[in-house]
Amino acid sequence: MEALDNKCPSCGATIKFSPKEQKWTCEYCGSKFTLEEMQQHKNASSKEVNDIKVEKKDVVLETADVYRCKGCGAEIIADANTTATFCVYCGNTAILREKIQNSRVPDLIIPFKKVKADATVAFEKLVKHRPLVPKSFKSKNNIEKITGIYIPFWAYDFDVSGTAEFRGTDIQTWSDFRNRYTKTDRFSVVCDGTMHYDKVLADGSSRFPDDLMDSLEPFEYKDLVVYNHAFLSGFLSEKYDVLEDDAELRAKTRTEKTSLSLLQENVKHQQSTLLKHNLSINKHHSNYILLPVFMVNIKYHDKMYTFAMNGQTGKIVGDLPLGIKETVFWSAIIFLSCFVVCILLYLGGII
């Protein structure tokens, strides 16, 4: 099977998407092109290539495949859910068209707006003032592994209606010269309402922890554009392996939790407790979308730790361990410092 790549219309060199320019920029001749200009040429962005779509086809590939790089002819091995990767020999982006079109083609995409340098600076700031983080996390080798990747998400539009019953509690206390009094008033509060949600997200890849992906939100939907293979140029990309119906259950759970929280805000008492609810959540539309994330995984003591940054907004999340050597070293420094201070205070007759 053959991999797609993007060529510069001016000089024929490999061209990549520039998050800063929001255009395709050639590193060799300096030419810059909009998507409309790129589509006029036969490449990964062309209308001919992108018009072949499978709207609904819940197929999850299970085996690795071998592709042929258009740049140098080398073989590219990609696993089941990789849709864009790099040739290790010539560095060309390899957009694996068959991988994309053997399943549902993404409807929408938010292109990267941040570059790798932004993610590198964010990661360095995250670990810089944390002396207990292992030194290996601060090494250049790990920082260089930070990679931009498009993560698959399902996005659902929901209509919610129903009621929820809460117990409201108000507590008053007062005292006189002999006793202290407490008065507790309890109320039954019923709230009802209707709500609409646009594009509730659910991670479509089992490779990435759901809580980590949730932490990267919110994404700004104003930057959503119609999907085109060319946006993958210069980045890695995954396809979903969590089917739409399965992800919908999780999206509904998130929606229910948010809806109950909004209803509870209407309980104007000091304390409130949910007693029961009856909510109806109806989906009226869904989209398969790709969202930009910078990520690096670092292994420490047989456990994988992940740093991730929203490739659109720059929001960062990180799971950082405590280094054993670093913890022992700084604990010893603190202990000895306190010990020396106590000795000096004792000798000075202060204690």
DSSP 3-state of 166 = strand
Rounded to 5 degrees, φ, ψ at 51 are -80, -15
DSSP 3-state of 207 = coil
Tokens representing 345 are 């205070």
Q: Which residue has the tokens 């202990």?
A: 335
DSSP 3-state of 215 = helix
303/311 Cα distance (integer angstroms): 25
Contact 292, 110 (CB under 8 A): yes
Would you state the pLDDT for residue 89?
44
Mean pLDDT of the chain: 81
Would you state the pLDDT for residue 304?
77
By C-alpha distance, which of 312, 121, 120 is closest to 217? 312
Question: Residue 144's beta-bridge partner residues?
Answer: none
Cα of 260 vs its chain's centroid, Å: 25
251/256 Cα distance (integer angstroms): 9
Would you state the pLDDT for residue 62?
45
Contact 312, 224 (CB under 8 A): no
Name the stretches of the chain with pLDDT < 50: 59-64, 74-75, 88-89, 330
Would you state the pLDDT for residue 350?
60
Tokens representing 277 are 């609810």
Tokens representing 28 are 């060799």
324/40 Cα distance (integer angstroms): 57
The H or E element spanning position 258 is helix 244-264
Cα dist. 285→101, 200, 290 in Å?
21, 11, 17
Angle at CA of residue 124, ends 118 and 130, nearest 5°: 145
Would you state the pLDDT for residue 8?
84
By C-alpha distance, which of 35, 28, 36, 33 is closest to 12? 28
Q: Where are the domains of the chain?
A: 148-320, 322-351
Cα dist. 152→59, 148, 244, 252, 278 in Å?
14, 13, 11, 18, 32
Q: What is the pTM of this model?
A: 0.78
- Within 8 A by CB and 6+ apart from 61, the residues are 80, 81, 99, 102, 103, 239
pLDDT for 144-200, tens place per residue?
Answer: 788 888 999 999 999 999 999 999 999 999 998 889 999 999 999 999 999 999 999
> According to DSSP H, which parts of 158-222 are helical?
210-215
Question: Residue 163's beta-bridge partner residues?
Answer: 192, 278
